[in-house]
């Protein structure tokens, strides 16, 4: 899923106005999606269980950062990194990680304020 810079800016602005990042109403281990917005140099999402088809979808964007942004998806149970990558200045990346059976969180690091990312286990 690709967002234009304008749409991304509106998304970040809406999150900032809300004052907090929220997840779909469920306990963190059962949430269908989780988002984080970098306020300093890093952030972590809440926990998301892999879909019944054993995948997680990810998206992250460095925003207007002057440094890019690194991301990893971590298995909450054992700390194993199941995916990692980096995007450059003003860039984003999305995709799916297949073959997952547990619960996962996304960690953004080495970023600038305004970078954003999410993981989810639903198609919508």
Q: Rounded CA gap, 1 and 10, in Å? A: 16
Which pLDDT score is estimated for 63?
Answer: 87
SS3 60: strand
Q: Rounded CA gap, 109 and 40, in Å? A: 9
Block residue for tokens 């200045």: 89
* pLDDT digit string, tens, across residues 79-124: 999 999 999 999 999 999 999 999 999 999 999 999 999 999 998 6
Which pLDDT score is estimated for 30?
Answer: 58
pTM: 0.75
Q: What is the mean pLDDT of the chain?
A: 82
| Helix or strand holding residue 5 (H, E) | helix 5-18
For CA atoms 124, 27, 11, 64, give the dihedral sign: negative
């Amino acid at each position: 899923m690709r967002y234009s810079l304008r749409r991304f800016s509106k998304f970040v602005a809406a999150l900032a106005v809300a004052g907090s990042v929220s997840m779909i109403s469920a306990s963190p281990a059962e949430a269908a999606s989780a988002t984080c917005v970098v306020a300093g140099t890093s952030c972590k999402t809440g926990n998301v269980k892999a879909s019944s088809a054993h995948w997680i979808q990810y998206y992250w964007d460095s925003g207007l950062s002057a440094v890019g942004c690194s991301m990893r998806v971590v298995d909450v149970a054992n700390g194993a990194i199941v995916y990692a990558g980096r995007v450059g200045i003003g860039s984003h990346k999305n995709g799916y990680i297949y073959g997952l059976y547990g619960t996962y969180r996304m960690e953004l690091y080495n970023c600038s304020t305004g970078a954003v990312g999410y993981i989810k286990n639903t198609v919508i």
